[in-house]
Structure 1
Amino acid sequence: MVHPPLTVYPSSPLTLGQRWESTSGSLKLSSRVMGSEPLSLSAGNFNALLIRSDVSSGGGTSTQYSYFVPGLGVVRYQTAGGQVVDLLK
């Protein structure tokens, strides 16, 4: 059986408070734009949208955070375990 792909980010523009859900097989993604945060990374300074994503599969749920800059994409990602990955260049 072929499952549709998850919608990780809906079409632009993203707005504060915006919510979306997507399902593919037993995997469910529920996301919300939580706010805007200034970030200073080695790749530069950004005003990023903070997106919380709750991923459910097999009875468990994990929460991840993305820092999204319109026109550029994700500049910081925080895993459910708390590991942070930043855009370098």
Structure 2
Amino acid sequence: MIVHELEPHDAVEALRDGSCDLAITFTYNLIAGDPPPGVSRQVLSVEPILIALPADHRAATGEVDLRVLREEQWIAGSRGTTDHEMRHRTSRYPA
């Protein structure tokens, strides 16, 4: 078995160009879309998305609506990664 570590978009491209046989990826329901032509996607697991906050933060209890955190300073992945895209799209929605 040979394993490559790639971001979801890159993993799907590797699958499409034949450089790998399968890709385990993830998506957020906020930005999910149809798989590209020639790719079938099956759900293996549904996992919660977690956010880490200081214990005394106003949103540190219960469920969090990301829109109310859009003005906060975030730590997120590099541009082009799925979590960066989720943060970018979240900032477009009014609270």
Q: Please identify which structure carries the higher helix content.
A: 2
Say whether the fold is shared (TM-score over 0.5). Answer: no
User: Could you say which structure has the greater relative contact order, defined with CA pairs below 8 angstroms and 6 or more residues apart?
Assistant: 2
**What band does the TM-score fall into relative to the shorter chain?**
under 0.3
The structure with more radius of gyration: 2
Give the alignment's TM-score, normalised by structure 1: 0.22
Larger strand percent: 1
